[in-house]
Structure 1
Amino acid sequence: MKQIILPAGLLFLGSIAIGQGRNDKEMEQRITFITLGVNDINASIDFYENKFGWKRSAQGSDDLIVFELCGLYLALYPKNALAHDAGVDAVGQGFRGFTISYNVRSVQEVDDLIAVLKSRGVHVVKEPQKVFWGGYSSYIGDPDGNLWEIAYNPYLKHE
């Protein structure tokens, strides 16, 4: 049953996302769902709920934890089960080739948020600093080594 939940959920979300017409050749520019394969679901729940302060969505289950994020969903799912679902090997270490960014509205907000996360025991990979593209950012790691950039981007439109 556990391995059926994720594919069924993705199928459901995929059916919602098809609203652009069957004959279109291009995808809409959007992302709906990001699922992180995690080694220890309880450690990841602790990180996202107690370090970030996020609240779980009722859409999840015991082994599929979902957070609603302003029009995007972030899910946590056991790494081995997610790899099995995708038909790939779960083994792999080091940089994963992507980061997730959390953008704030000022340089001071980056500094303040990093200070709070440090006080909660979050591993800071890169201290806040001015960056080559004109912004200001820092990187933190979650329990599985996924990199989160905490950034101020002066060119980004905020809601």
Structure 2
Amino acid sequence: MPAISLITLAVASVPRARAFYEALGMRTSPLGNESVAFLDAGGVVLSLYGREALAGDTGLTDARPGGITLALNVERAEQVGERLADAVAAGARTLKEPREMPWGGVTAYFVDPDGHPWEITWVAEFPLTEDGRIVLAMGDDEDGGGTTA
């Protein structure tokens, strides 16, 4: 089954970005160096790569962030504000304070020091595993159970 295994963010400073994500609780792999960092993001690897290096590797003329949001899901609604405070303390800028959504969840948004937009959200229908992965209920399971994202 296809799965997203690694997400790479173009960053201005790998050491600064690594410190930011470590402050949010992600653990850095020793496989990285000053030019690239690999962090355990709960079942997906978050890779931090210098903007110029990523532009050179991909052939893109500009490797700035855009067009996506990344998400941190939490177990309880009150954790949205707590995690937002953690992100701000680590150097993030708040885009939207925690608020109840029309669909029933609680969501807040911030940008990391390189401008990547992140959502912190609690959704009752998205239970989390012990290591923070979302459990998606799949209607076609024979036993009616869910699948872990």
The alignment's TM-score, normalised by the length of structure 2, stands at 0.78
The alpha carbon displacement at 1:80 in A equals 1.2
Question: Which of 44, 47, 50 is matched with 1:72 structurally?
Answer: 44
Name whichever structure is richer in helix by fraction. 1
**CA offsets per residue over residues 21-60 of structure 1, 9 Å max, x none?**
xxxxxxx34100001011122321221123x132211122
Separation (CA, whole Å) in 2 of partners of 1:98 and 1:147? 7
Alignment deviations for residues 55-101 of structure 1 (CA, whole Å, 9 cap, x no partner): 211122221100022321001000111111111111657xx111000
Task: Find the residue that maps to 1:148 and give its secondary structure.
Answer: strand
Closer, same or farther: CA 145–111 of 1 in aligned 2, 3 Å: same
Aligned runs of 1:38-49 on 2, under 5 Å?
38-49=11-22
SS at match of 1:46: helix
Aligned to 1:134: 104
Q: Which of structures 1 and 2 has the bigger CA Rg?
A: 1
- Gaps (5+ residues) in structure 1? 1-27
Equivalent pairs counted in the alignment come to: 129
Aligned position for 1:123: 93
- Between stretches 115-124 and 102-111, larger displacement belongs to 115-124
Q: In structure 2, what is the equivalent of residue 34 of structure 1?
A: 7
Does the CA-based 8 Å contact 2:10-2:64 persist in structure 1?
no
Q: TM-score, normalised by structure 1?
A: 0.73
**Alignment partners' CA distance in 2, 1:91 and 1:72:** 21
- CA-based RMSD of the aligned residues comes to 1.8
